[in-house]
Amino acid sequence: MAALMALLLSLLLPLAAQAATPVEQAQVRELDRVRTEVADEVHLYAFDLLDEMVWEWSQEPVFESPTPVVLAGVTVPVGLGSGLQALVENHLSTVLADNPAANVQLVHCPQCTAVVVHSGPEGTVLSRGYDNPEVLERLGAETGRHALFVDIEAEGAFLVLRARLTRLTPDLPIVWSHTLSTSTSTPALLRDSTQLTSAADARQEYLDALEGRGVFSVPVRLAVRSYAQGWNMRATPAPPFLWLQTGVELAATEARTWTGGLIVGYSFVPQAYMGFMGQARVARLITGQRRSLTRPDLYVFVGGSVNSVWGAATLPFQEDLVNADQVLAASKREGPRTSFGGFQVGLDGRIGRRIGVSTYLETLPGLVYTPNMGTYVQFIFAFQSIGTEVTFWF
């Protein structure tokens, strides 16, 4: 009989497929698209509800000791496919395996979920295994196990999870049941299955991740500025300057698309130079509309600075040609004090919330005519300096 049905179906199905009009085919495609779109959104909410259920079990276990449980049935919202069902089953298995404190050990029981046929004096009964524990016992399955049923349904704007545990004895009593729901106006919490927390704590972590950054942050930065060799070969170039800088950075919004900062810096190398600087900077995120919590971000920035330096090694910032002898002679006294301004343009790469690396070109308008200093790049402005920074944010 079954073979006859299969033959009939194999003959009819291709005919049915051919009979579908282009409009019907388009409707089926559209339905599949909608189904996929909804399933993509729903599965995170479903995971959230499963996480909450297992977390509740780990806090108040249904069983006093680890107990074998058969995952007898998982049903997903009507209209969504079996792919979502598989995702939900896998996630539940993973979360339960990662949380032994829940005292629920999923066990494999193919007889329980199979359709079984039992013929006896009272007649022939066709049923699923877990609906007929007496037949299960004859098939060798351990009696007295528990079966877990999970149902997830979309009820308006709410996704509702219902779960029940049934003891697989002839009376099939339901020993536990529960209902949980979430709505589309609440974002999924995406809890780590190995460290489940309550919904309230997970929500707080989520808010902390957004708000903990705040709009203010304090950078501590180590910077090196190198100056180009002057066109006159007899001239002595300025040495690289090391700066330790700190200040405050302000973000316009939580998205941190635009940021601005004020920085002060100090530089000191014994018997060479000492200096102070102040800098203002505005940066724009160029790798998205908002800072990412998971991947690096890149900003482009422009800034202006004022530097005041003194010491023997700062002689090349003078307008006169300076040679090595003059620098050595100056090292025996305090040396000249020079103040100059600069403008920077550069790129700032940030990794996570704490570390950043940046590089920039700097033009020093007051030192354009200094024979001791050349140009690295000439593009609209003469950029005499290149800077590299490593920044830590607090």
Partner 1 sequence: MMAVFAILPFLVNPLNLPREKQDRLECERLSHAEANARHPGVLPPEKPRGDYLDRTLLLCRERIAPPELRHPRDESVLFELGEQASALAEAATSAAPDGDHVWLVEANYPNAQVVPKLTFATKVALMRRGVTVSDRLVALGAGDVDVITRMEPMQAYPAACHRYAESGSLREGDVLLTLMVLDPRETSLHAGLCTDGRWTWLR
To 5 degrees, how large is the angle CA 240–CA 242–CA 248? 135
Q: Does 203 bind partner 1 (CB under 8 A)?
A: no
Alpha-carbon torsion 200, 206, 211, 212, what sign?
A: positive
Give the span between the Cα atoms of 347 and 129, in whole angstroms.
65
Q: Which stretch binds partner 1 (CB under 8 A): 87-95, 122-130, 199-207, 258-266?
A: 122-130
- 297 makes contact with partner 1 (CB under 8 A): no
Q: Which of 326, 345, 324, 348 has its CA nearest to residue 336?
A: 326
Q: Which of 62, 107, 125, 264 binds partner 1 (CB under 8 A)?
A: 125
Which position among 20, 31, 190, 244 is part of the footprint of partner 1 (CB under 8 A)? 31
Alpha carbon distance 90, 104 (integer Å): 15
Least distance (Å) from partner 1 to the CB of residue 94?
A: 23
Binding residues among 172-201 for partner 1 as defined by CB under 8 A? 172-174, 177-179, 181, 183-185
H or E element in which residue 280 lies:
strand 273-285
Element (H, E) at 104: strand 104-107
Encoded amino acid at 37, one letter: E
Whichever of 140 and 156 has its CB closer to partner 1, that residue is: 156
| Cβ atoms within 10 Å of 212's Cβ, excluding its own | 9
Among 85, 166, 245, 307, binds partner 1 (CB under 8 A): 166
Least gap, CB of 145 to partner 1 (angstroms): 13
Instruction: Tell me the window of 1-9, 147-155, 273-281, 371-379 that interacts with partner 1 (CB under 8 A).
Output: 147-155
Query: How many residues make contact with partner 1 (CB under 8 A)?
Result: 44
d(CA 181, CA 158): 6
Q: Which amino acid is at 50?
A: L
By the criterion CB under 8 A, which residues form the site for partner 1?
30-31, 34-35, 38, 41-42, 45, 73, 75, 77-80, 123, 125, 127, 130-131, 147, 149, 151, 153-160, 162, 164, 166, 171-174, 177-179, 181, 183-185
